[in-house]
Homo-oligomer: A and B are copies of this chain.
């Protein structure tokens, strides 16, 4: 009986430690780099199915976008204004992660990979632009993963 109480007390002490605010460790279900790659496919699915609204639903309110050839854009609302091109059915943005990593606390990580942007040229032919991206993923207070920062640049010039 004494032993049982002792074990319970140790478990309680460890439990209190893991419950430290801001540190969330769910044993057996710890998020990994694969979790972030999975988030990324959900993110893309939302953008393909629901356009800019789906895309933006994965952004944190205080997210920052670092677009190629422009100034940094701060805040989800401002970023959304530049993403309405995803609502044009002629446009199709797809991407796929290559690398990913996550902190040991499982609350901050990144993915990087390659994207393809398909659109319609003036002559009606399909135009494809290719590039790279890096996305910072941050776990929010409600346990959801959101994009904190996103950056893109171009791939090599195509011949």
Tell me the A residues contacting B by CB distance below 8 Å.
6, 9-10, 13-14, 17-18, 22-23, 64, 66-72, 98-99, 101-105, 107-110, 112, 132, 134, 136, 138, 148-149, 151-157
Contacting A109 at CB < 8 Å: which of B70, B99, B108, B156? B108
- What are the 7 closest A-B residue pairs judged by CB atoms, nearest first? A103-B103, A105-B105, A103-B108, A68-B153, A153-B153, A104-B105, A10-B13
A71/B156 contact (C-beta < 8 A), A134-B134, A136-B110 known:
yes
A67 to B66, CA, bound (A): 14
Q: How many angstroms between the C-alpha atoms of A112 and B71 in the bound complex?
A: 12
Whether A71 lies near B155 (C-beta < 8 A) is yes
- Residues on B with C-beta less than 8 A from A156 are 69-71
